Structure 1
Amino acid sequence: MQSFDHLITTRPHEVRQVLISDLHLSPEEPALVQAFLALLDDCLALPALKRLFILGDWFEVWLGDDAYLSLSEIEQQTHWLTPLMMKLKQLRVDGCEVLVMHGNRDFLLGQPFCNVFGGELIYEPYTLHIGQQRYRLEHGDALCTDDKKYQFFRKIMRNRVTQWYLLNKSLEKRLAIAENIRQKSKEKNTTKAAHIMDVNEGAVNYALYTFDALLHGHTHRPEIHRSSDGRSRYVLGDWRLLDKDTRQPKVSAVIGAITTDIDTDIDSNTNNAGFGLFEFKFLPR
């Protein structure tokens, strides 16, 4: 993986699409929020950027779009999400699509919230053409089939009836439910074997059956995996704090970037298109 502090320092005219996952943003972790704002500044400086993908777990917890949309104009002005919305809206005005996918933390996120910044909610599996190859994009939790209890929980929480039930609860009750679920998840994860929380090889092979490559997050285990038949699996990394005890914590994340020659259309069948994983670092001064 190539390492750089800012996208604009590495072939800025060739970066056409950026893919990120597992930011887990919250007001309790301002450094992560600032790191995301820094990435958006970099994206705004990329002259040929056409798409920004957020492949799930954008937020640590999402109680529903109304948690933000129901705020008054004055309340929104001071809300921690508003600076993000403004930069994403500017990115969209500049011609970059913002495509957002559900994760296991923010499955209640809806299109109304994405409308605030002109984004689009997409669903897994999402097919992305890179040159002559077909990439399958997903969050990644559905691939962890060895964790039977989690898959049962996921099926329940992704059910429309369950989501309707939750969204008709008050924000206070939803917050209590989310905190309870998160606490139980932490307790269970401490007793699970490491391989159970990783992807299942059979599930990966099935997902790759009609694709050339698979791209996902969720596991927080960034890596490039190559199979014997030439197919690839790219795992994006979570956004994590480094040196938490310092006054100005650093943030590191493994993200994806698609580059082409500057005069190449991203949707054309060309061998000039390329994909790679890169380490994005936010180092506050």
Structure 2
Amino acid sequence: MSPTSKPGAGRTFFVADLHLTDERPAATGRFFRFLEEEVAGADALYILGDLFEAWVGDDHDEAVAHETARRLRALADSGTPVRFMHGNRDFMLAARYAARAGMTLVADPARIDLYGVPTLLMHGDTLCTDDTAYQAFRRRVRHPLTLALLRHLPFSLRRRLARRARAGSQAAKADKPAAIMDVNEAEVVRVLREQQAARLIHGHTHRPARHAHAVDGRDCERWVVPDWYARWGYVVCDAAGCALRLEDL
């Protein structure tokens, strides 16, 4: 790297499942340092969902929401595009907050050309097809009519509903086998085939790793982005390929 080059130049970063909240300042501080020390000058930053612990609307009032918007806007204004994909915790994040944060909203899934490799980006929850109860809930809560209704409810009621939903989700997880909450291998192969992608990058499962998949005689790879609870990390890609970084918080 030349003395005049920027730290992240020629690289694209992928994060997910940060679950930022005022109650977890260590993760928030680590994220802000990551933006300054690692991502500055990068080709792009992709946030693949669950940036926040819970998001009940763009009138979200946690301090972390305001500071995160400021930091991401500064990164975008410096020349590094910031792209955001909804997760299961922040699917109500909409255009108003995205504009404040300088983020471009991207669909799930999104297929991009990543340094010449057709790459599929997903949050990852739709790959967990064995969890039929969650998939049914997801379809209901993501329906446009449901979203429209939720956005018209008072903020305090939306926040209570979100807390109740999180409590119910935690209780449901306790009764589910771990395998059900991981991706379905056949679904992974299906989406790679359908999208004609050689690489898949996703979060949601909190099981960071690189996996190899054979799809119609093609060698494909799947990168799982880490969460930011006890650990933190990201996937970074350049013209030579991708790598996973994982460290204690």
Give 2:211's aligned residue. Answer: 225
Q: Larger C-alpha radius of gyration, 1 or 2?
A: 1
1:54-133 equivalences in 2 (<5 Å): 54-68=47-61, 79-133=63-117
TM-score normalised by structure 1 residue count: 0.79
CA distance in 2, matches of 1:133, 1:16: 14
Mean Cα displacement is larger for which, 83-92 or 193-202? 83-92
Cα deviation code 1:78-135 (max 9, x no counterpart):
x333332222111111111110010000010011101002211111111121233101
1:134-283 equivalences in 2 (<5 Å): 134-209=118-193, 210-228=196-214, 229-241=218-230, 252-259=231-238, 272-280=239-247, 282=249
Query: Per-residue deviation at 1:217?
Result: 0.4
Give 2:7's aligned residue. Answer: 12
TM-score normalised by structure 2 residue count: 0.90
CA distance in 1, matches of 2:72, 2:8: 20
Unmatched runs of 5 consecutive residues or more in structure 1:
1-10, 69-75, 242-251, 260-271
Corresponding position: 1:39 with 2:34? yes
- 3-state SS, counterpart of residue 230 of structure 1: strand
Cα deviation code 1:45-77 (max 9, x no counterpart):
x44x12111000000100100225xxxxxxx9x
Letter in 1 for 2:22: P
Give 1:269's aligned residue. Answer: none
Unmatched runs of 5 consecutive residues or more in structure 2:
1-5
Task: Answer yes or no: is the 8 Å Cα contact 1:43–1:91 preserved in 2.
Answer: no
Aligned identity (percent) is 35
Q: For the aligned residues, what is the CA RMSD?
A: 1.8
Query: Per-residue deviation at 1:257?
Result: 0.9
Query: Per-residue deviation at 1:14?
Result: 4.6
Letter in 2 for 1:258: C
Cα deviation code 1:2-25 (max 9, x no counterpart):
xxxxxxxxx936542111000000
Task: Answer yes or no: is the 8 Å Cα contact 2:9–2:43 preserved in 1.
Answer: no
Query: Per-residue deviation at 1:281?
Result: 5.1
Task: Answer yes or no: is the 8 Å Cα contact 2:13–2:44 preserved in 1.
Answer: yes
